[in-house]
Structure 1
C-alpha cells in the first residue's frame, strides 16, 4: 500500500472554454459537487483506501521564520490569484495506477449545469524511507 495526497485546486478563472468558475455556480450545483466528493470518500472508506480529507477556507496567511523573533506574516493566498488549494484528500492504495484512476474519477465531480468539471488534481506520493541495504 502507498499513500498519496490529492490536492484539489480551485481555479477562479476557467481552465477550459466550458468551465464555469465556482463563484458563479448555483447553490444546488455547489451542493451536488460537495455531495459527489462525500460519496467518493464514503466509497473509499468501505474499501479501506480513504485515509482523510478536508476542504479548506479560501483565506490564508503566509508565515516564515526570519531569525528575528516573531515570524513575519503576510496576507494570502488571495482568490484573485485565480488558483488556490481548495482541499485535500489522502488515499492509501495498492499502487500508482490505482491512485491515478481515483484522481481521474474525482476530477469528474459535477460543476455548473451538473457537467463534470474535469479539474486538474495534483497527485503526490508521500515521501517514504529509502530501502535499507543489508549485507
Structure 2
C-alpha cells in the first residue's frame, strides 16, 4: 500500500505544481480561476477521488489554447497514470471535443484492452472508444 500512497502523493504534487505554474504564467478570467481552484481543492481534500475526467476537462482546453508551462508534462503523466489505474471518471459526461481529445491522446495509455486500429477512423470508432473506457 505504501507504493500506491507514494504514487498518489507524487501525482498530487505534479498536478499542484502544474496548476500553480498556469496561474503564474497566464492571466485567467474568473471562470478559469474557479476551475483551477476547484481541482486544486479536490486534490488537497480528496486526492483519491480525482479522475482523468476531472483533470482532462481542465487540461484539454488549456492545451488547445497553448497555455502550457514547464509543468505540463507532469500533468500529462498524471493523466496517463489515472487512465492506467482505471480512474477514468464520468466519461459519458464529456463533450464530443473532450471525447475526441482523450481518444487521440490517451487511448493507448492502457494495454488492458486491445483495439483494432482499422476501426478507429470509421463509423464504429465511437463504439470502440466507449468500450475502451468501459473496460477494466
Structure possessing the higher radius of gyration over alpha carbons: 1
Report the structure, 1 or 2, having the larger strand content.
1
Higher relative contact order (CA 8 A, sep 6+): 1
- Same fold? TM cut 0.5: no
Normalised TM-score (structure 2): 0.30
Normalised TM-score (structure 1): 0.30
